[in-house]
Amino acid sequence: KFCDILLEGLAPDGGLYLPEHYPQIDDAHLGRLRSILQTQGYAALAFELLSLFIDDIPAYDLKALCNKTYTEAVFGTKEIVPLRPLGDGLFVEALSNGPTLAFKDMAMQFLGQVFPFVLRARGATLNILGATSGDTGSAAEYAMRGKEALAVFMLSPYGRMSAFQRAQMYSLQDANIHNLAVKGVFDEAQD
C-alpha cells in the first residue's frame, strides 16, 4: 500500500520501490486528462494521475491534498507548470516555479502535505534522514518545514554547495528542520 511505502522510505534491498504494474493510458484517457488540465487545472490533473497509484487514501482526501499542494501561492502561477513557447510548435515546460526553484518541488510539495495526513491518521511521528548535494535537500526542507509530527535531518557536504543552496537550507529557522554539514563529498554524506 502507498501509505506503508511512504513511511518506510527505501525498499528492504536499499533501492526504490516500483509499482507492481503500470496503468495503461490509451488515447481516450489521455484526451480526458488534457481536458481536465484545461478545464479544472493542474491540481485536478495531479489527483487523476496519483489516483492511478494511490488506493489507500480516500479520493476526497487525496483530492484535497492535491488542491492544497498545487496552488498559485506555492508555485507563483495559476498554471503551476506553464508551457513557454520557443517557436515552431516547440514548447518548454517551466518546472522551476516552486519555493526552491527546483523541479523537485513538484513532488516534494505533495509529500509535505501527504506525510502529515498519513501520520495524523496513524497517530505516528516520523524523522526523515536525508543527504543532499543541494537542490533535493532544500526542496525537502521547504516542503516539510513547520509540519506536525515530522522532523528532517539533512546531511550536506560542507562547503560543496552553491551559496544559493546553502542560503536556502541554512536560513530556515523551523524547529523541525535540522541541517548537518559533513566534511567530505555528497557520497560520504549519503553513506
CA distance 175 to 181: 17
CA distance 43 to 89: 25
Maximum Cα–Cα distance across the chain? 54
* Residue 147 annotated as catalytic: no
CA distance 54 to 52: 6
Cell of 98: 516552486
Beta strands in 75-122 (DSSP E): 83-87, 90-93
Give the active site residue among 63, 68, 78, 104: 104
Q: Active-site positions?
A: 104
